[in-house]
A and B are shown apart, each in its own frame.
Chain A
Amino acid sequence: MINPLTLIAVIILYIGCLFAVALWVERKGSRGRKWANSPVVYTLSLAIYCTAWTYYGSVGNATKSGLMFLALYLGPTLSVLLWWTVLRKLVRIKKLYHITSIADFISARYDKSSAIAALATMIALIGTTPYIALQLKSIFSAVGIIKAPELLATGSVDRFTSDLIVILLIFLTISFGVRRLDSSERHQGMVTILALESVVKLVAFLAVGIFVTYGLFDGFSDIFVRLSKSSHSYLMSFGGKEEAPYIPWTSTLIFSMCVVVFLPHQFHVAVVENPDENHIRTAMWMFPLYMLLITLFTFPVGIGGLLKGLPISGADGFALVLPLRFGPSWLTVLTFIGGFSAATGMIMVCSMTLSTMMTNHLLLPLIGNNERLSFLKRHLLKCRWVAVGAVISLGYWFERQAGNSYALTSIGLVSFAAMLQFAPPILGGIFWRGGNKAGALSGLGAGFLVWFYTMFLPSLIKSGWLPTTLLESGPFGIALLRPEQLFGLSGFAPVSHTFFWSMAFNISFFVLGSLYFEQSKTERSIAGEFVDVLSGDSVMNRPIQGEADINLEEKCEEAELVLCQYIDKKKAKESCLKCLRAVGIYEKQWIYASELFDFHNMIERELAGFVGAASAREAIKRGMSLSSKESKEISEVYAEILADLNVTPADLRRTVDFYQEREVLLNSHFTELEEKVRERDTQINERVQVEEALRGSEQFLGSIIDFLPDATYVIDHAGTVISWNRAMETLTGIVAGDMLGKGDYAYSKAFYGTNRPMLIDLVADPIKAYIEGGYEGLGMTPEGLLYEEIHVPNFKGQDAYFMATAARLYDQHGNQAGAIESIRVITERKKAEKALKVAHDSLELTVEERTKALRDAKEHAETANKAKSVFLSHMSHELRTPLNAILGYSRLMQRDNTISPEQREHLGTINRSGEHLLSLINDVLEISRIEAQRIHIETTEFDLGAVISDVYAMFRLKAAAKNLQFILDGMQDLPRYVLTDEGKLRQILINLIGNAIKFTEEGGIAVRASLRGNSTSDKWLLLEVEDTGPGIANEELEKVFQAFEQTASGRQVVGGTGLGMPISRKFARMLGGDITLSSTVGKGSVFRVDLPIMEGTKTDIPGEKTVTQKRVMGLAPGQAVPRILVAEDVMESRALLVKLLQMTGFDVREAVNGLEAVEIASEWHPHFIWMDIRMPVMDGMEAARRIKGSSWGEKIGIAALTASGLLEDRDSIMTAGFDEFVRKPFLEQEIFDIMRKHLGLVYLYDNESEETVSQEANSGFSAQQMRKAMTPELRNELLSAVIALDTNQAIKAVEKIAITDPFVGKVLMQLALDLDYDHLLRLVEEAD
C-alpha cells in the first residue's frame, strides 16, 4: 500500500526536477550550448507517441486482442523507412515557411487558405480531445488504483484530485510550451523534458516487464506455456478472438503509419521542433528501437495479470496493479511516475500546438473580420494561454462524460482515425503538384464528416447521449446509413470501418476536387515548392533591373506597422532588422524593386512564425502592397530571367527561393560565426587582460615578499621554489636565481646541508612530510598558522636558532596552490633567554634562601615572642607570688590589734610598696598584651555619665589638693547608656585626667564630653581633657604615646612608668577611635579622645550598687564549718591562705601539688577547693579536671589561684572545670565573697572596718584613726600645704600630727616626702 502523501511528494519532486532541468537547459541554450539539439533528445521527444495508451492501454488491448496492439508500433516502424524522404521534406518546408503547426502546414500548401487552416484546426481539436481525455483517464485511473487497489476495474479519483491534476497540467504546459509568441521557435526546455519523460517511462515499463516476466514468472516461455494451458490461450495470436483479424491489423498498420507524424503533437515534435534534418537519420532507427523495447513486455504484463487472476475488466491497470500487489513499493511508484510521464508529455505538446492553431487559424481570422476584436492582436500570447486551458479542459470534460464508456484503446483509436484525415492533403501536397485548395478542403471536410458519423457519433451514442436506434437502424430507418455499417459494409471492426470509409471519401474528394477545380497561379507556385523542396540544382544570379529608387525607410516603417499589430514594437523592430539582414539590404537607403519583393517575402515568413502562413499572407496584403511601378519592375526582372534561362516561372521562383533560403541560412550561419568570433576575441582579450593582471599581481606580490624583513620563500603545489626574497638571500647566502625553479626540498640544504622536509612541506604535503619526520616544537597560532622553533647546530659554522612560520596558499577556486614559509633568526634571543634562565634560576635559589631565612627569622621571632610571653607569664607568676605573700601577710598582720602603731606603719609601707610594684607589673603586662594583640574588647552596656562622674570624682580632690580648677562639662548632652568597653574607657579617662593633674601646677583641668553624629549607628563620643600644664613641644608630641618614652616636661616629674598614654591610645584605637594631642609649650595641652559608641537601649542597669567592703571577722554562728582544701606548692602562699581561712573559722586542709589535692579531696570531700595552677607532680588544671570528672567531686566548687598576669589564660583555665578565677595577689574580700557565693555562708564583720578597700590599701590606717591623729587645725594646715603643693609646709604639719599619732604621722610623712600629694589630699579629705 502506497501512502498517498508519499505519492504526492514524489510527483512534486519529479515535477520539480523536470522544471529544474528545463530551466537549466534553456539557460544553457541562451548561452549557446543547446543541449536540446542532440539527435538523441530529438528521437526521445518523438517517443511521446508512446503515451498512456501505450503504457496502460496496450496492456489492456493485449488481454483482449492478443498481439493486435503491436500494429500501432509496427506501422510507424514501416513508415520510418520513408522518413528520409517524407519527414525531411516536411522539415525543409517548415523551415522555408516558418510553419508552426500541422494546420499551418496544410494551409501554407494550399494557397495559405484560412478556410483550410480553420478546418484543420477544428479537426485537430475535435479529434484530439478524446486523446487528451484518454491521457487524463489514465492518470486518474492510476491515482485511483494507488488510493484503492481493490477497485481495480473502476479506479478513479474524486473530483477535487482530478481538478487539481488538470490545473497542474495547464500550469506545466503554459510554463514550458507557451512562454513566447513565435511558435516556430524551438522550445528547448520542453523538448528536453519530453526526452527525459520518455526515458523515465521506458525504464519504468521495462522494470515492470522484467519484474512480471522474471519475478512473478520464469520468463517468456513460462508465460507462454501457462497461457497456452489457460482459458486465455486464444490471445496467443495477433487478433485474439477476431474472426478476420487481418482487416483491423492492416488498417491499424496503415493509419498508425500516418498518425505517427500527422497527429498534431507528433507533427510538432517531429517537424516544428526539429533543429536539424540530419537528426532524422538517428531517429529512423532509434525511434523504432524505443518502441520495440517499450512494447516487448506489454504482452507478458497483460497475460501475467490474467494468469495472476486479475479481472480482465481492469486490464488497463495491470502494469500498475501487478507491482502494487506483488512487488516492492518503489516499483509501484516508479511505474506510476512512468505512466504520469507518458500522459503529461502528450498533453503538454498537444494542448500547446492546438492553442497555436486555435489562435492563428480561428481567432485571428475572426479578429480580421471584426475590428472590435483587433485589440486581441496584441494579446495573442495570453490568448494562447487561455486556449491551452480550454483544450485541456475540453479533454477533461470529455473524460468525465465518456471516459467510463470506453477502454483506453478505443478512445485512442477514435483520435487516430480523426488525425488520419490529415494524411491525404499532406502527402498529396508534398508529392502531387495537382493537389489544390478545393480538393484539400473538400477531402478534409468529407473525411472528417465520415469520421464524425461513423466513429465519433457512435461513441456519443454508446455514452448514452443519443438514442441507440441511430446506431441500430440508421437515420430515418435507412439501414444503409447505419454509422457503423455505412452503405451496408459489415464485418469490419469500427476502426477499420471508419478507416475505410473516411479515407475513401477523403481521398476521393481530394483527388476529384483537385482535378475538377483549377489551381491559382500562386497555388501552383507553392505546390511546386512543396513537391520539389528537396530538389533544386541550378544557381542563378538575379539581374538588376531599373534603378534603386525605392525608399527603404518607408518600407521598413510599413513592415513594422504590420508586425506591430501582433507583437510589441521592440520585437517588431528586431524582426524587421532581421529581414533586412537576411535580404542583404541592411544599411541601404535606396533599394531596387526586386529587393523590395524579397523583403516583402521575408517579412511574410517572419510573421508566419507568429500567426501562421495564412494570417501572415492576409496581413502583408493589407499592410505592404506594391505600387504599380514596383510591380512592373519586378515583372520585368523575372521576365528577363525567364527569357535568359528558358524556364517556367514556377521553376524560376522555386530556384530563386531555394537559393534565397540558402543565402539566408548562410548569412545566418555567417552571422553566428561572426558572433562566435567576436565572443572568442572578447574571451581572448579578457584572458590576456587577466593574465596581465595576474602577472602584475604576481610582480606586486613578489615585491612585497621581497620587501619583507624576514627571510621568506614560496613553493608551488609541486614543491618548486617560486619566490626567494632578499632576506632569504642574505640569511642563506644563496641568491634567488640559484634557487628559483628548484624542487625536491632543495631549499633545506641551506640550513641542514641536506635535502629534507621543512616546515613549509608540512603544510604543503602533511602526510608525506609527517612520515619523513624531523619536526619538534610545533605549534599553531589561533589563526591556523603553523610555527616551529628550529635549532640548527651548524649553520654557517655556528649554533643557530630560527623561528619558522608557514601557511598554505590557495588559488581563486580554493585549491591548494602552494605554501609560504617565513624564517626569523632568533639566536640572540635564545641566548638571552638562556642567560635569563640562568639568572632566573639563580634568583629563584636566592629567593628560596631568603625565604628560608625569613621563615627561620619568623620562627625565631615567634619562638622569641612565645618565649617572651612565657617569660612574662613566668615573671608575672614569680613576681606576683611573693607579692601575694607580702601583701597578704602585711594585711593579715594589720588585722592583728596587738601590734604597735609603728609596726602598723611599717606594715602599711610594705603594703603600699607592694601595691606600687603590682601596679608597675600590671602596666608592663598590659602593654605587653596589647603589643601581642591579646587584649580583647568586652562590649557592655553601661551608664556613661556614671563612669565619667566616677572618674571625675576620683580626681576632684586631687585637683583640689593642687589647687587646680577642675571642670566637667557637657554631661547633659550625653546619652545615659552606651555600648562599648567600659573598663577601657574608664582606664583611658583615668590615665588622661591623672596625667593632666600630674603635670599641671597651676590653672586647671577641663573635662569636656560631647557627642557627634546623627545616626544611631554612627555616633562618636568626644572627650577632651585640657590642662594648663607646661605643654609639649611639637617634635615631642608623638613621644607622649610611645612606650617607655618621656617628654622633656615628663622627665621633670617623678613617678610613673610612661606607659599610661601609650596604653590609652592603644585602647582608644582598639575601640575604633583615637587619641590626639595638641599642645603649646607654656600654655597647656588638649587630649582629644574620639570613640565610636552605640546608644544603649536600657533604662536602668541592675546590679550597680555600691559594695560596702567590710572586714570579715568570722563565720556567723549556726552554720556547719565548711571544709576548705588549699592546694598550693609555694609554702608562703599556701600558709597565707590557710591562715586567713583558719582565722575566719574554716576547717582547712592543705596539699602541696595537684595529685595530693585529688587524693585528699577524694577522701575528705571538701566543700570548696582553692587550687593553684602551677604545681609540681600534677598541675591544678589536671587536678581540677580529675576532681570534676569524678562522681564525688562533681559538685565541689573549685577556684583557680594563679599568679599569671595574662588575661587570656583565664579562658583556658576555666575550661578545665574551675568555677572561679582569682589572680594573685588576692584580696581577702575576693576570697570570702567567692566562698559566700558558692557555699551560701554568712560572715561576721568588723564594723569599724567599714572603709573603702582603696583607702585601706593605700594608707594602712582608717579614716577614724586619721581623725584622731589630727586636730581640725592641723588638718586644714596639711590640706592647705597639699593643695599648695608646699612640701615644707606639709612636712611641718605632718610632724605635728606625728606627735599625736606617730603611725599616722609617719605614713603622712612618707607621702609628703614621696610628693604623693594625691594620696595625702585623699586621706585628708577622707578624714574630714
Chain B
Amino acid sequence: MKHLSNDNLASLEMFLFLFFFALFGWPIITIVDRTHDSSIFIYLFLVWGIVILLIALISLSLKPSHSSHGTNEESGEG
C-alpha cells in the first residue's frame, strides 16, 4: 500500500475527525434518534465500525517511524 505523506495524512486525519465528529454530533444524531427505536443503536455501532475500518486502513498506509528503534530506555530489570 502506498504510504501517505505527512501533509496528506494530517489533512486526512483532520477531515475524518471532523466528518465523524459531525456524524456523531448534533444535529445528525438527533435526527437518527427521532424515532426512539433500535435505529440509534444500530447507527452508532455501524458508524463506529466504519470509523474503525477506516482507521485500520489508514494505519496500514502510515509510513513507519524510524526514530523509535533501539531506544535505550527499556529496562532490563523489568
Contact = CB atoms under 8 A, between A and B. Distances in A.
Interface of A: 22, 25-27, 29-30, 34, 37, 67, 70-71, 74, 77-82, 84-85, 88, 91-92, 95, 98, 179-180, 182, 184-189, 220-221, 224, 228, 233-234, 236-239, 246, 249-250, 253, 275-278, 281-282, 284-285, 288-289, 292, 296, 299, 534, 578, 582, 609, 661-662, 664-666, 668-669, 672
Contacts of B58: 81, 84, 284
Contacts of A233: 36
22 contacts: A67-B40, A77-B52, A81-B16, A81-B51, A84-B9, A88-B65, A188-B75, A234-B36, A236-B41, A238-B29, A238-B33, A238-B40, A239-B33, A246-B29, A249-B25, A276-B71, A282-B59, A284-B56, A284-B59, A285-B56, A664-B72, A669-B69
Contacts of B33: 237-239
A22 B78 CA distance: 9
B10 A85 contact: yes
A1289 B15 CA distance: 179
Given A95-B73, A249-B25, 15 more contacts: A29-B76, A30-B76, A37-B74, A77-B20, A79-B17, A80-B55, A81-B16, A84-B13, A92-B67, A220-B41, A246-B26, A276-B71, A284-B56, A284-B59, A288-B52
Nearest to A291: B48
A108 to B, nearest CB: 15
Contact of A29 (B44, B48, B55, B78): B78
A250 B13 contact: no
Interface in B21-75: 21, 24-27, 29-30, 33, 36-38, 40-41, 44-45, 48-49, 51-53, 55-56, 58-60, 62, 64-65, 67-75
A888 to B, nearest CB: 130
A81 B17 contact: yes
A1255 B78 CA distance: 132
A668 B25 CA distance: 47
Contacts of A669: 69-70
Contacts of A224: 37-38, 41
Given A78-B24, A185-B74, A285-B59, A70 B69 contact: no
Contacts of A34: 74
Nearest to B12: A81
B68 A277 contact: yes
Among B24, B36, B60: residue with most chain A CB under 10 A: B24
B38 A236 contact: yes
B73 A250 contact: no
B48 A180 contact: no
A292 B48 contact: yes
Contacts of A296: 45
Among A30, A81, A92, A95: residue with most chain B CB under 10 A: A81
A716 to B, nearest CB: 42
A43 to B, nearest CB: 11
Contacts of B36: 233-234, 236-237
A221 B40 CA distance: 13
Nearest to B21: A78
Contacts of A236: 36-38, 40-41
Nearest to B38: A224
Interface residues of B, number: 48
Nearest to A190: B78
A179 B77 contact: yes
A239 B44 CA distance: 13
Nearest to B29: A238
A25 B78 CA distance: 8
B69 A665 contact: yes
A29 B36 CA distance: 53
B62 A289 contact: no
A669 B33 CA distance: 55
B55 A285 contact: yes
A221 B38 contact: yes
A84 B62 contact: yes
B75 to A, nearest CB: 4
A668 B44 contact: no
B78 A281 contact: no
Nearest to B24: A74
Contacts of A578: 72
A70 B49 CA distance: 13
Contact of A278 (B9, B44, B64): B64
Nearest to B72: A668
Nearest to A26: B78
A299 B42 CA distance: 12
A920 to B, nearest CB: 121
Contact of B38 (A81, A182, A189, A220): A220
Given A185-B74, A238-B29, A67 B13 contact: no
Contact of A186 (B40, B53, B55, B73): B73
Among A30, A187, A276, A666: residue with most chain B CB under 10 A: A276
Nearest to A235: B36
A278 B59 CA distance: 10
A193 B46 CA distance: 32
Contact of B52 (A70, A186, A285, A662): A285
Given A84-B13, A253-B24, A188 B78 contact: yes
Nearest to B57: A285
Given A67-B40, A236-B37, A289 B52 contact: yes
B22 to A, nearest CB: 10
Among B13, B14, B26, B52: residue with most chain A CB under 10 A: B52
B70 A288 contact: no
Nearest to A81: B17
Contacts of B27: 246
A94 B64 CA distance: 18
5 interchain residue pairs of minimum CB distance: A26-B78, A669-B70, A285-B56, A185-B75, A246-B26
A185 B77 contact: yes
B70 A666 contact: yes
Contacts of B17: 78-79, 81-82
A917 B44 CA distance: 148
Among B27, B45, B56, B74: residue with most chain A CB under 10 A: B74
Contacts of A80: 55
Given A665-B67, A669-B70, A77 B48 contact: yes
Contacts of B30: 246
A95 B71 contact: yes
A74 B44 contact: yes
A690 to B, nearest CB: 27
Given A26-B77, A30-B76, A84-B9, A662 B67 contact: yes
A292 B40 contact: no
B20 A81 contact: yes
B74 A292 contact: no
A187 B78 contact: yes
B44 A70 contact: yes
A665 B74 CA distance: 12
A77 B77 CA distance: 34
A579 to B, nearest CB: 11
Contacts of A74: 24, 44, 48
A92 B49 CA distance: 30
B56 to A, nearest CB: 4
Contact of B55 (A249, A278, A288, A299): A288
Nearest to A669: B70
B42 to A, nearest CB: 9
Nearest to A71: B24
Contacts of B6: 534
A85 B52 CA distance: 17
Contacts of A228: 37
Contacts of B60: 281
